[in-house]
Every structure is written in structure tokens, then in C-alpha cells.
Amino acid sequence: MSELLRVENLTKSYGRQRGCTDVSFELWPGEVLAIVGESGSGKTTLLNCCAGRLAPTGGSVVYETRHKGLIDIHGMSEPERRFLMRTDWAFVHQNPRDGLRMNVSAGANVGERLMAVGARNYGNIRNAALDWLSRTEVDPDRIDDLPTTFSGGMQQRLQIARNLVSGPRLVFMDEPTGGLDVSVQARLLDMLRDLVDRLGLSAVVVTHDLAVARMLSTRLMVMQQGRVVETGLTDRVLDDPQHAYTQLLVSSVLQP
């Protein structure tokens, strides 16, 4: 078995502004990696570069494709990359509005990926949408309603359904529970963990919430000022932080 994603010396600068610097890591099939760090530490920048949404300044992101083996995703043609992004990959935005089409129904939102890759049977598309709405705990009766009529938590679950319908292997999430109430967050986390387990998904999750990292991830990467300062099994890093910054991060959560 080989790694699913291999990131080597990834650097992204915005002009003179540093986004992330010299980041390397591997993601293995079935593994969930959490990226934590304070605001501005480069988490979103790193995630976007890994997910093919942002071109890095240096380094490479290599992905194990189903049919062609390891391929540098930034060396792919744009159509190939778009195809990969809507079949094998999923991207869950913090704000569901960034990941949903707000002016079409929930069913159309879920069905879009299928149609984009050639599904042409309305009945099958609709059944898949119904199935995924119920799997993400959205009432299937709401299939023809617009996402604007949904609560924040429902919108986020709809965004997840829309992403998972194509059977992706790798899911990128940027603060998936970020804008939600605490109780809604807990329920969404439960659902996410359950889906990830059951589908055997691999995932990279950006969060500034160590509890989210603890619950979802197997491995943890701590970022500070664009660099990775510590990495390891989640429980190990949180229970026995080595780097001074990680120690600070962990202790600031423990002592309110």
C-alpha cells in the first residue's frame, strides 16, 4: 500500500506575505489528518494548495490516482484536475454558502456532481440525492427546498451530502463546524466521524478547535507562522506536546 497524498516542501507566498513555508507530510488511505494553529498560521493556504485550489509557489503535491498512479496535481491539465476534484475529492467549506448553490434545490445541489460526470437518468439522480440527504440527517422531504430555507447546521450537512455523493476517497475540510452553535457542532462532528469511519475516507481537516481535532483525526499537524512545528499521533501530541507553541496551545484550551 502506498500513501494517498504526498506533500513535499510546499511553499506558498502571496507576494512578500508568507502563506505557508516548506511543509511536507504524507496521508495514508483511511487516515484523517488535522491541521491546527492560530489564526493566520497558514492552515487554509496549505489546505487549498493540497486540494488543487491554489497554485503553490514551490514544492509538490502528489496524489495516488485510481488509474494512473502517483501524479503531481499541480502538473495536471485544468480539466483533469477539475475532474479529480469532483469525483475522487471533496471540499467542505467553513461557510456552506461557499460550497452550495443557494439558488437551486437541495436535490439539485446533491445531484450536480453526478450530472457533471455524465449521469443522465433523472430518477437515479434523485434517488441518490434522497439517499444522501438521509445519510447526512437532512429530512428527505426537504429535497425540493432551497438551501436558503435551511438552518446553518442543515446547510452544512447538505454541503457534505453534495460532496460525498460522488464517492470521493479524499475529503478536505476547512473549519467544517466553524460557524455553528455548540450543540449543532457536536451532532455534526458525530455524523462526520461516523461517515468517515463507515466509508473509510481519508481526510485533511483544518480547525483551530483542538476538541474537533481530537474527535476526528488520527494524526495532528501543528502550524505556527506558516511552518509545521510539531506533528504526530493526535492523542500523543495533545497529551504530551513537545514544542513550546503546542504546549501553549494545549494549555490555553485546558485553562480557560
Ligand X SMILES: Nc1ncnc2c1ncn2[C@@H]1O[C@H](COP(=O)(O)OP(=O)(O)OP(=O)(O)O)[C@@H](O)[C@H]1O
Number of residues that bind other proteins (CB under 8 A): 24
Sign of CA dihedral 46, 49, 50, 56: negative
Report 53-82 residues binding ligand X (CB under 6 A): none
Strands 202-206 and 58-65 come out as unpaired
Q: Would you say 30 or 40 has its CB closer to ligand X?
A: 40
Number of residues in the chain: 256
Told to check if 99 binds other proteins by CB under 8 A, we report no
Q: How many CB atoms lie within 10 A of CB 211?
A: 14
Q: Which long-range contacts (CB under 8 A, 24 or more apart) does 241-246 make?
A: 246/222
Per CB under 6 A, contacts with ligand X among 197-226 are 208
- By beta-carbon proximity to Mg ion, the closer residue of 71 and 229 is 229
Q: At what angle do helices 152-164 and 122-135 cross, to 10 degrees?
A: 130
Query: At which residue does the C-alpha cell 502538473 appear?
Result: 75
Which one of residues 41, 44, 207, 246 is an interface residue with Mg ion (CB under 5 A)? 44
CB nearer ligand X, residue 70 or residue 248: 248
- Choose the one of Mg ion, other proteins, ligand X, none that binds residue 37, judging by a C-beta under 5 to 8 angstroms depending on kind: ligand X
**Cell numbers at 158, concatenated:** 447538505
The whole-angstrom distance between residue 111's C-alpha and the CA centroid of its chain comes to 20
Stretch touching other proteins by CB under 8 A, among 77-85, 178-186, 206-214, 218-226: 77-85
Among 11, 21, 41, 246, binds ligand X (CB under 6 A): 41
The three three-digit cell numbers of residue 208, written as one number = 483551530
Our CB check for ligand X shows the closer of 48 and 202 to be: 48
Q: Which is nearer to ligand X, 19 or 52 (CB)?
A: 19
- Residue 19 interacting entry, from ligand X, Mg ion, other proteins, none, C-beta within 5 to 8 Å by type: ligand X
* Burial (CB count <10 Å: 0-12, 13-18, 19+), residue 64: buried
E-strand stretches of 4-94: 5-14, 17-27, 32-37, 58-65, 69-72, 89-92
Site for other proteins in 129-188 (CB under 8 A): 143-144
In the chain, the amino acid numbered 47 is L
Binding residues for ligand X, per CB under 6 A?
Answer: 14, 17, 19, 37, 39-45, 208
Query: Which residues are near other proteins by CB under 8 A?
Result: 78-79, 82, 86, 101, 103-105, 107-108, 111-113, 115-117, 120-123, 125-126, 143-144
